[in-house]
């Protein structure tokens, strides 16, 4: 009977080890998924900010080259500030959180 019990203990240990390996594999998969998600968020943030900077620069250069656009400087400045605020809100919503 002592051998049967030992055999049962060995089987229980192997099963426990197997369950532990499965849990570790799930943790690695979750960490990998979080890393991919954060990388995608940072890439999206970078592209949004870069696009806004490019468009702001383009509009500013066009305005400097065509002074008639600058007849209403307040609207021009407001447009840049409003779009900048929208970009800031998007960045804050997309920013990866530390968990």
| pLDDT tens column, 52-91 | 889 888 888 887 887 776 677 777 788 888 888 888 888 8
CA-based nearest residue to 63, from 85, 80, 84: 80
| pLDDT tens column, 40-60 | 888 888 998 898 889 888 888
Angstrom CA distances, 98 to 27, 42, 47, stand at 17, 13, 22
Residue 79 CA from chain centroid, whole number:
27
**pTM exceeds cut of 0.75:** no
pLDDT in the model for residue 66: 78
């Amino acid at each position: 009977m002592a051998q049967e019990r030992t055999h049962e203990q060995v089987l229980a240990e192997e099963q426990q080890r197997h369950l532990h390996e499965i849990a570790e594999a799930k943790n690695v998969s979750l960490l990998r998924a979080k890393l991919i998600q954060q990388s995608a968020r940072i890439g999206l943030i970078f592209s949004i900010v870069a696009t806004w900077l490019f468009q702001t620069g383009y509009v500013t250069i066009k305005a400097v080259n065509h002074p008639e656009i600058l007849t209403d400087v307040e609207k021009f400045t407001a447009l840049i500030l409003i779009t900048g605020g929208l970009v800031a809100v998007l960045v804050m919503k997309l920013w990866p959180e530390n968990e």
